[in-house]
Structure 1
């Protein structure tokens, strides 16, 4: 297990309140000690990541969980902005979305997403997926600090 001893932060970019609650609950029941920051649209997500406006003191996340279908600026645009920004491009981005569209999958990888996962509507499967993501990206993988 690789860890530097500091508490990790997951940045959840999701507009669906039900999915936010489920993902928060799944992360509560995992061995990974982490904080969760949330943005409900793409514009706020980029302001948070760039530490603009109300987010000037935002913690740089260790992992981003990104939905594709967001208001104001969709997840595809957010992913593209992250991956071309030298301050942000090293942060792993996992697309966690209901879309199983082959074009969305290909486009996400073309934009250098680290992983693409379709959300399960089965609650226990969704919890297993979210826990697995957190454990892999925050405990197993060596991430830049």
Structure 2
């Protein structure tokens, strides 16, 4: 079996919960992932970080749905209508198992919808899956096209 090359993919975690943020950071440390982790506490802050290109490309977004100021679905609505950000790869990571939230998220073209139950074990599994994903998949800004934002060095 061949080992896939390491890719420096930034992770933008959009979540207002400090415990979830610590669990994500801990899971990344346990798996020895060196990827940059950037946190926004809501959709407004996340859009500001993305618009100002303060999240290094290529990146993946981990999005909670239940947040103040701008929730996850509102964030997706803005993101998908903004040139240069609309192709962002987003995984929903939330406590909501409501069918209407799942449908709304997938209508905004998320790559996956994951419901948080047991934070420690699930986050390790989630990051194992994400690491395999970003090692295999060509993410938008890796193509070098102007519509995808800056190209990573």
* TM-score, normalized by the shorter chain, greater than 0.5: yes
SS of residue matched to 1:64? strand
Assess, with a 3 A threshold, how the Cα gap between structure 1 residues 76 and 61 changes in structure 2: closer, same or farther: farther
**Is 1:120 the counterpart of 2:120 in the alignment?**
no
Give, in angstroms, the shift of residue 97 of structure 1: 0.3
Q: Please, what TM-score do these two structures have when normalized by structure 1? A: 0.85
User: Aligned residue pairs: how many?
Assistant: 139
Gap regions ≥5 residues in structure 2: 143-153
- Greater shift in the superposed pair: 82-91 or 66-75: 82-91
Shift of 1:122: 5.0
Q: By how many angstroms is 1:140 displaced?
A: 1.8
In structure 2, the residue matched to 1:100 is: 97
Residues 67 and 75 of structure 1, relative CA distance in 2, 3 Å threshold = same
**Is 1:10 the equivalent of 2:20?**
no
Q: Would you say 1:80 and 2:58 are equivalent positions?
A: no
Identify the residue that residue 22 of structure 1 maps to in structure 2: 23
